[in-house]
Structure 1
Amino acid sequence: MGRRGPKAGPLKTADTPREIGAHCFLWERPGLSRAARVIIFVESLPITSGMHAGRRFRLRPWQKKIVKALYRTRGGRRVVRKALLTLPRKNGKTALAAALALAHLIGPEAEQRGQVYSAAADRGQASIIFAEMEAVIGAVPEFAARCNVQRFRKAIEDDVTGSVYHALSSDDRKAHGLSPSFVVYDELAQARTRHLFDNLDTGAGARREPLMVVISTQSSDHHHVMSELVEYGRKVLDGVIEDETFLPIIYAAPPDADPWSEEVWRACNPALGDFRSLEEMRQFAAQAKRIPAKETVFRALYLNQPVEVDGRFIAQADWEACRGEVDPEALRGRPCWAGLDLGSTTDLTALVLYFPEDGGAVLPFFWVPAENLDEREDDDRVPYRTWASQGLIETTPGRAIDRRAIAMRLAEVASRFDLKGVAYDRWRIEDLKVILADEGIELPLTPWGQGFKDMAPAVDLLEAGILQRQIAHGGHPVLTWCASNVVIETDPAGGRKISKSRSREKVDGTVALTMAMGLHARAEVPAAPPAWLERGLLAV
C-alpha cells in the first residue's frame, strides 16, 4: 500500500490524478457542483469492513443533504466554515468523517500543500478515522500509488498535492503552529479541555476556505465547548443568530420526549432500520427500562440527550426546573440561613444564603485565588476568568484565599439580610474566627459536621426541595456546576452525604446550600421540653 515510512520509495508516481492508472475520476467531470463532486467521490470509495465489505459507499438521502449543505457555494467559494453534526452513536459518523477527510486529502476538495486533521479526545479514538482512511487507500490502487502511509505516526502524505494528514488527540502538544485546511473532530464531547479545538479553530486563518466539522454526541457539561457549539447551533436554527458560515445539524430527542417510543428513536437516529440496528436498540431499551443506570446510557448514547451517565445525585432536568428568578434587592432585610464551606487556601470557597420564606431563594457567593486562574481553568474545565469578570465569583490577590475578604463579605451579608444562622464546616474555621473577632464582627455561627449524622437529614431536605421545586437558584452558573458534580455516599443505615472524594469536580456550593437548608430545618424544630416539665414538676 504505497510507501511505508518517510524514506520509502513510491510504488508509482504521477503528476496529476488523471494520469494515475486507467481509472476514470468521475468527480472531475466538468459542470458538477462542489457538493456533487464530493458525493461522487464518496460513493466511489470502497467499504472495507463489515457485512458490506467490497461494495461501494452509498450515501443515504439524509447524508447527501448534509453534504449538499456543507459544500454549498456562492461565487464559487464554499459558504460554510464550521459545521456541527451531533447525532447518537452507530449512525455511521466514522465512515462519513473518514470519507470527507479523504476528499480533502486526495479528492475533489484537495488543495496544494493542504493540512488535513482528524482530532479526538485520546490517541485510541483519534486512530479510528486514520485506520478507516488507511484501509480505503489500500483498497484503491490509484490512491495507494500516490500516498505515503505512516502508521506509527498516524500520518498520510499525498505525493500529488503535497498535502498531509495527521491524527491528533487532545493530549497532543503539536497543535500549535498548524494551518489546517480541513479538520474533523470526532467525539468532541469526550475532550477534557478545549485546547486542541481552539488551536485548530484559530489556526485556519491562513487558509482561503478552511473547514472544521465536529461530529459528536452531546455533552452533559453545560460549560463544555461541545455544549457551547450546540447552544450556538440551536440559536442559528431558530433564527436568533444569523451566521451562514456555521452549519448546525442536530439529531437529538427533546428532553420531554418519551424515551421508549420508536417514533422518537427514528426521529433522532436517521440510520435506524438501515445500517443502524433496530433490533439491537430494542434490546438495549428493554434492559434500560429495568436498570436505571442503563437508562442514562440509553438517553445519552442512543437518543443523544445531554444527560449524565454516572449516577449523579441531582438530575439536570430537576435542577433546571428550579431555575426561578432571584432578585437580591428584593431579599434585603429578609430572614435567611447560610452555609459556609471553606476550601483549602488554594481551592474554591462557597457561602450560600437560603431564604425559605421567599420561595426558597438561593443567593451564592464564591471565592478563588487570583493567581493561576489559567491552570485552574485547565484543571476544572470551567471559565473562571469569565465568571470573575461577570461578578459571579470573587478573586482574592495571591495564590491563597484571603480569609479577610470572606469575613468582610459575611459582615456585609449580615448588614443587608436578616441572617439567622451560619452553618460552617469546622475544618479551617479558626483563622476566620480570629479575623472576625479582630474586626468586631459578630455572627450566629453554628458548627456543622460533614459526616452522616449532620449531613444525612440535610441531604434529604435538599433532594426534597429540588424534586418539589421548593428552591429557586436563578440559574447561577457556578452553583449549577457544583450541583452537577455531586456524588452521594450512603452508609449501611441508608444515611447519605455528599462525597467530596468521589465527586468529579467541585461541590462546595452544593455543600454550603445543604448546610444552610439543614440549619434552617433544625432551627424550625423546637427543642423537646425537659422530662420534669412534662411530669408537672416545678423547681423551687
Structure 2
Amino acid sequence: MGLRGPGAKRRKGVEPMPQRRLPWSKRGLSRVERVVAFMEFLPITKGILAGKKMKLLPNQRQFIEAIYGNVDADGRRTIRTAIKSEPRGNGKTGLIAGLCLCHLIGPEAEQRGEIYSAAVDKKQASLLFNEMSAIIEAVPEFDERCNVQRFHKIIEVLAGDGKGSTYEALSADVRRGHGLAPSLWVYDEYAQVRTDELFDNLQTAQGKRKESLGIVISTQAATDQHPLSILIDDAKKGVDPTVYLQMTAAPEDADPFDDKLWQAVNPAWGIFLDEKEFRSQAERAKRAPSFLPRFMNLRLNMRVESEARFLAAPDWRACAADIDIETLKGRRCYLGLDLSSTVDLTALAAFFPDTGDLLAWFWKPKDGLDEAERMDHVPYKTWVRQGFIEATPGRAIDKGFVVCRLAEIAALYDVQGVAFDRWGMKEVERIMADEGVKLPMEAWGQGFQDMAPALDAVEKLVLQGELRHPNNPALTMCVANAIATMNPAGGRKLDKAKATGRIDGLQAAAMAIGLAARTPAPKRSVYAQRGVFIA
C-alpha cells in the first residue's frame, strides 16, 4: 500500500525535522491570499518547469479570486459551482492538484473533510492522483502527515490541518457518488463523459456541508446537447449567483490558423505550453481535414465535432423563430411520420411550404423514461414536463395513442400528404382503418432514392434561411446527432448506425419537406395573382 504517516520515516534516536513557517500561515492574509500563497508554495513535479515553484497564471489567479473572494455576511463562500473551460496544455492538472491539496491539507482544509476528483475512466482519474502524490512526496511537511494508498487512489490526512480528511479518485465508469458528503469535488475533462450520473450525484451531495464546492475543468464538448455544454450555456445566462464560469475559447467564426488567435486563447503561451508541439498539430490539421475538428476543439476550445454533421449547429440555430401556431391552422402542410420500435422515440413533423414553418411532435413510453435518460443522456423527463415530448401510457409505444394524436393534429391543418417509413406501419394502418382516420398516406423509403432529394431540400432551406422552427430541444437533439452517408453518385441519406443519438425528429422532418418538395404547388388563378377578384 505504501503507508506513510507521522514519524514513519524517522529512525529511533533521530531528531524530528525542524518545522518551518509556511507562507499561508502568515497573519493578516485574506482568504484569497492564503489560497494563492499555498498554491505558489507547491513544487512543479514534471515538465519543462519541474523543480520550480508553481506560479499562477493571471487567469488562474482570477479564477481563485472569483471563488474564494466572494463571501456572504457570515464569511462563507457564495460560489458553489465553478467552471473553467480552456484549451489543453494550459496547466489544468497542476491547478486541480493544488486546489485539491488546498482543501485536503492546506488553508481550506476542514476536519474530516472529503475531497473527490472525478474523471471519465480510471486512467484519467489516476493522472490527478499521481500528481498530488508527487507533490506530497516533494514536501516533507505534507509527506509526514499523509497516508497515500496507491492501489485504491486514496490519500488520508493523519495529523495537522484537515486531520481525518480523505481524498479519493473516482471514475465515471464506476457508478459512485451516493452517500458522499464532499467538501470539494473536481471533475476533470467532463467533456469526455457520456453520462452525467456521477456529476449529478456529486452536486446533489453538496447540501451536506455549509461550504461545499464543485469545480469542473474541461475543454468544451463537441455538441450543444452534451451535459457540459448545457452547464456552460446555463452559466452564461448569469441567473445563478452561486455558479461562476471562466471561459477561454476561440470565437465560432475564427480562423483556426491565426497565430495571434493561438496566443490569445492559450494563457500558458510563451510560458510552459509546448509551442513546437502546438504548431506541429496545426500543420497536421492543415494537411488532414479529418484532424482539423479535433485541433479546433482541444487546442482552441471550440465547440466542434470530430465528424461532420448533416447540418451545422450555427446554421440550425439561425433558423429558430417565434412561430404563432394559431396562424398556421387551416394552412397547407405536409406531414412526416417516423414510427419507433416499442420503446424508442416516435416523431411527427409538419412542414408548411407557404411560410417555411416546421413543427414537430414526439412520443415516448412513460414507464421507461428513467432508463431512456441513462441510455441516451438527454433530459427526457424535463422535456415531457415542458411539453416538448408526450409520454404514452405503459412501457411500450401505444400506437393507438399515436394514431389519435395524429388525427387531432391533422384536423387542424390542410394536410396534403403524410410521408411515412414503412417499418411498423401495418398495425398503424389497421388502427387508422378501425378508427375511421383517413389521411393521404405515402410510403417513403429510407434509402438514397427517396432520402437524397429530401435531404437536399432540407439543407437548401436551412442554408438559405428559409426554414423556421420553434427551437424544440428534442428536434434540435435529433439534428445535432445526424450524420449523412453519401453514395458514389453524391446522394445522401441519414445513417442511424453513425448517429451519436436519436435522429427520429429529423427523419420525420426530412420526409415532410421531401414530400412537399416533390409535390407540384397548386396553381393560382392568373387573375388572383394580378389582384383581380370576381365576387
TM-score, normalised by the number of residues in structure 1: 0.90
The answer as to 2:418 corresponding to 1:443 is no
Q: Distance in 2 between matches of 1:5 and 1:435?
A: 70
Aligned residue number for residue 86 of structure 2: 87
1:371 match: secondary structure: helix
Could you tell me which amino acid in structure 2 is paired with residue 505 of structure 1? G
Q: Distance in 1 between matches of 2:147 and 2:50?
A: 24
2:186 match: secondary structure: strand
Could you tell me which amino acid in structure 2 is paired with residue 300 of structure 1? N
Q: Distance in 2 between matches of 1:517 and 1:232?
A: 32
Q: Is the 8 A contact 1:413 1:419 kept in 2?
A: no
Aligned residue number for residue 215 of structure 1: 217
Taking a change above 3 Å as real, the CA distance of residues 403 and 134 of structure 1, as seen in their structure-2 partners, is same
Of residues 509, 513, 518, the one that matches 1:513 is 509
2:237 match: secondary structure: helix
Superposition deviation, residue 9 in structure 1: 8.7
Q: Distance in 2 between matches of 1:246 and 1:363?
A: 34
The answer as to 2:488 corresponding to 1:492 is yes
Could you tell me which amino acid in structure 1 is paired with residue 174 of structure 2? D
Q: Is the 8 A contact 1:326 1:362 kept in 2?
A: no
Q: Distance in 1 between matches of 2:40 and 2:150?
A: 25
2:231 match: secondary structure: helix
Q: Is the 8 A contact 1:72 1:80 kept in 2?
A: no
Q: Distance in 1 between matches of 2:259 and 2:235?
A: 26
RMSD over aligned CA atoms reads: 2.0
Superposition deviation, residue 416 in structure 1: 0.9
Of residues 351, 361, 364, the one that matches 1:365 is 361
Superposition deviation, residue 242 in structure 1: 5.7
Q: Distance in 1 between matches of 2:322 and 2:64?
A: 43
**Mapping of residues 27-426 of structure 1, within 5 Å:** 27-72=24-69, 74=71, 75-160=74-159, 161-236=163-238, 241=239, 243=241, 245-358=242-355, 360-426=356-422
Q: Distance in 1 between matches of 2:353 and 2:296?
A: 34
Q: Distance in 1 between matches of 2:248 and 2:174?
A: 30
Q: Distance in 2 between matches of 1:489 and 1:131?
A: 43
2:216 match: secondary structure: strand
Aligned residue number for residue 461 of structure 1: 457
Q: Is the 8 A contact 2:49 2:272 kept in 1?
A: no
1:213 match: secondary structure: strand
Taking a change above 3 Å as real, the CA distance of residues 501 and 62 of structure 1, as seen in their structure-2 partners, is closer
- How many residue pairs get aligned? The number is 512
Range 61-70 or range 71-80, more displaced: 71-80
The answer as to 2:470 corresponding to 1:471 is no
Q: Is the 8 A contact 2:6 2:158 kept in 1?
A: no
Q: Is the 8 A contact 2:6 2:144 kept in 1?
A: no
Q: Is the 8 A contact 1:483 1:510 kept in 2?
A: yes
The alignment-based identity, stated in percent, is 49
Aligned residue number for residue 536 of structure 1: none
Aligned residue number for residue 531 of structure 1: none
Superposition deviation, residue 310 in structure 1: 2.1
Q: Distance in 2 between matches of 1:411 and 1:247?
A: 48
**Mapping of residues 13-32 of structure 1, within 5 Å:** 21-32=18-29
Q: Distance in 1 between matches of 2:266 and 2:254?
A: 14
Taking a change above 3 Å as real, the CA distance of residues 78 and 412 of structure 1, as seen in their structure-2 partners, is closer
Range 494-503 or range 223-232, more displaced: 223-232
Superposition deviation, residue 290 in structure 1: 4.4
Aligned residue number for residue 529 of structure 1: none
Could you tell me which amino acid in structure 2 is paired with residue 272 of structure 1? W
1:249 match: secondary structure: strand
What are the ranges of 5 or more consecutive residues in structure 1 without an aligned counterpart?
14-18, 527-540
Superposition deviation, residue 479 in structure 1: 0.5
Residue deviations 1:440-484 (CA, integer Å, cap 9, x gap): 111100011111121122122222222222211121111100000
What are the ranges of 5 or more consecutive residues in structure 2 without an aligned counterpart?
11-15, 523-535
Q: Is the 8 A contact 1:396 1:405 kept in 2?
A: yes
Q: Distance in 1 between matches of 2:154 and 2:111?
A: 17
Superposition deviation, residue 365 in structure 1: 0.9
Q: Distance in 2 between matches of 1:158 and 1:322?
A: 56
Range 199-208 or range 481-490, more displaced: 199-208
Could you tell me which amino acid in structure 2 is paired with residue 120 of structure 1? A
Residue deviations 1:208-248 (CA, integer Å, cap 9, x gap): 32111111112233343322321232122xxxx261x3222
Q: Distance in 1 between matches of 2:477 and 2:176?
A: 31
